[in-house]
Amino acid sequence: MTDTTTLERTAESATTILDHWVDGSAWTGESERTGPVFNPAQGRVQKEVRLASAADVDSAVAVATGAWTQWRDTSIAKRQAVLFNFRELLNQRKDELAAILTAEHGKVLSDALGEIARGMEVVEFACGLGHLTKGAYSENVSTGIDVYTLRQPLGVVGIISPFNFPAMVPLWFFSVALAAGNAVLLKPSEKDPTAANWMAELLKEAGLPDGVLNVVHGDKEAVDRLLEHPDVRAISFVGSTPIAKYVYENATRNGKRVQALGGAKNHMLVLPDADLDLAADAAVNAGFGSAGERCMAISVVLAVDTIADELVEKISQRMGTLRIGDGTRGCDMGPLITGQHRDKVASYIDVAAQDGASVVVDGRGVEADGDPDGFWLGPTLIDKVPTSSSVYQDEIFGPVLSIVRVEGYEGGLDIINSSPYGNGTAIFTNDGGAARRFQREATVGMIGINVPIPVPVAYHSFGGWKASLFGDAKAYGPHGFEFFTAEKAVTSRWLDPSHGGLNLGFPQHD
């Protein structure tokens, strides 16, 4: 499987164009709009991606609707076999996918492989669909009457994913949606779209019937049509908070089931009794991994005054050892996704100085091991950030780590609980009592105790609170199967002549 099966070259411009993937093959659709896909480490456009019209979305939904009736009736054993095959193929060919992620997103190869591993974990979990779609049975609830529940697929479901995990986030959702017997229309980020086609093609090789998983590329026009299309039963969205809210409000207004995961500002509270070396390693790994473009990145360290100077020193020492550059060259951190995003992130460094914070490490002008035109910004550390500053308040989504100094546990907790976001948070301490209070008192969906990026394993569910998740279903795990199935309760009685007769009262038990 190579790019050439999903890409075509246009005669006029010789620009590579990534097509949609519909009904088991590359598909151009009717829209002539395209968008640029950069190689962020080179700062150059490497291909264009098609941007679907509303009519293109309609065509793909019609294909998915047709394919669903067959997939819905495919046995659990056969669906399971497709997922097992997919898992095996993905594992064998993960290096190909990692190379695509690095070329379009910019994250370093080792991090790209980590993303794939965490996505593959959800495929493995979804292979247990036999257990996860089981209903319940109550015998003889009334004389001769049994009640049982069935979990049935919804139909065609839409998945809209962000740029920062072009493989893992689609895997979170489509693995479970397909396992549960749904057909899928995936609308990946237009910034790094190729991974979605690659995985769709691999699913075909694994035995998924054509049309059951379709990839439609696009922007707001495609998303808006998905949100209103009457045959799309559910929407799973991951992206920034304003768009998550927009998606949630519009799709629910149209009667759809929606899970919309939004942005984040994740705090790490370091208490005086913590192992400061462990805490400093964790802050650097979680602050600058994937250039800070992770929804579970640590962007604020809440350092208790008595250890703050020492912790800042340890963090900045470690930052000096990081190698920034092209993700294919064994570096620690790659570029940002676009030049525009890099400039916006860098602009916060001036804001920090204006707001009275102290810039300890300035990532501008970093010497990167890569093309000078790459979208580089080095790791940046800003101390004494006031919580009134936009550096503290905004989701910067880049390699900028803020230190906010606090008097103690209570002050740190107050700041965490006052944040509009509630995705992840962590406490670093050797005091079990403090850790236990923290897990109970923090108003955040995912808590780490001496673990900076507490992304739950696939058999738990992933999701934040407050402005980090709209809707009540988290991603994957038990929530995932609940989200992608509808429960039906059956009350059954097999004929028994003793139960005949007319009775217009509300059914009661005997």
Residue 236 in contact with ligand NAD, rule: CB under 6 A: no
Closest among 237, 83, 65 to 153, alpha carbons compared: 65
Mark 363-394 as b/e (b = at least 16 C-beta within 10 Å): beebebebbeebbbbbbbbbbbbeeebebbee
The size of the interface with ligand NAD (CB under 6 A), counted in residues, is 27
For residues 184 and 178, is the Cβ–Cβ distance under 8 A? yes
Element housing 490 (H / E): strand 485-493
Residue 422 in contact with ligand NAD, rule: CB under 6 A: no
Could you say which of 71, 173, 397, 484 contacts ligand NAD (CB under 6 A)? 397
Residue number with CB closer to ligand NAD (43 or 239): 239
Could you say which of 39, 102, 164, 485 contacts ligand NAD (CB under 6 A)? 164
What is the CA angle 18-186-473, rounded to 5?
A: 155
For residues 232 and 458, is the Cβ–Cβ distance under 8 A? no
Gap between the Cα atoms of 367 and 369, Å rounded:
7
For residues 160 and 247, is the Cβ–Cβ distance under 8 A? yes
Closest among 283, 190, 196, 174 to 239, alpha carbons compared: 190
Minimum Å distance from CB 51 to ligand NAD?
9
Residue 348 in contact with ligand NAD, rule: CB under 6 A: no
Q: Which residues contact 503 (CB under 8 A, 6 or more apart)?
A: none
Residue 263 in contact with ligand NAD, rule: CB under 6 A: yes
Could you say which of 51, 167, 238, 361 contacts ligand NAD (CB under 6 A)? 238
Stretch that binds ligand NAD, among 74-82, 142-150, 262-270, 301-309 (CB under 6 A): 262-270
Helix (H/G/I), strand (E/B), else coil: 388 = coil
Binding to ligand NAD (CB under 6 A) within 184-203 occurs at: 187, 189-190
Residue 261 in contact with ligand NAD, rule: CB under 6 A: yes
Helix (H/G/I), strand (E/B), else coil: 50 = strand
Structure tokens at 326: 């092209």
Per annotation, catalytic residue among 212, 264, 295, 331 = 295
SS3 content of the chain, % helix, strand, coil (to 5): 40, 25, 35
Q: How many CB atoms lie within 10 A of CB 252?
A: 16
Residue 223 in contact with ligand NAD, rule: CB under 6 A: yes
Could you say which of 42, 133, 402, 468 contacts ligand NAD (CB under 6 A)? 468
Minimum Å distance from CB 329 to ligand NAD?
25
Could you say which of 9, 78, 134, 220 contacts ligand NAD (CB under 6 A)? 220
Minimum Å distance from CB 493 to ligand NAD?
46
Residue 248 in contact with ligand NAD, rule: CB under 6 A: no
Residue number with CB closer to ligand NAD (115 or 383): 115
DSSP letters, 108-173, are -HHHHHHHHHHHHHHHHHHTTHHHHT---EEEEEETTEEEEEEEEE-SEEEEE--SS-TTHHHHHH
Stretch that binds ligand NAD, among 216-224, 272-280, 308-316, 379-387 (CB under 6 A): 216-224
DSSP state, 455?
A: P
Minimum Å distance from CB 114 to ligand NAD?
14
Residue 41 in contact with ligand NAD, rule: CB under 6 A: no
Amino acid occupying residue 437: R
Q: How far is CA 139 from CA 136, 490, 496, in A?
A: 10, 12, 16
Q: Is 295 a catalytic residue?
A: yes
Q: Show the binding pattern over residues 423-462: x = contacts ligand NAD (CB under 6 A), - = does not.
A: x---------------------------------------
Residue 287 in contact with ligand NAD, rule: CB under 6 A: no
Residue 239 in contact with ligand NAD, rule: CB under 6 A: yes
Residue 53 in contact with ligand NAD, rule: CB under 6 A: no
Residue number with CB closer to ligand NAD (336 or 413): 336
Mark 9-46 as b/e (b = at least 16 C-beta within 10 Å): eeeeeeebbbbbbbbbebbebebeebbebbbbbbbeee
Could you say which of 3, 124, 146, 219 contacts ligand NAD (CB under 6 A)? 219
Q: Which residues bind ligand NAD (CB under 6 A)?
A: 160-165, 169, 187, 189-190, 219-220, 223, 238-240, 243, 261-264, 295, 395, 397, 423, 464, 468
Active site residues: 295
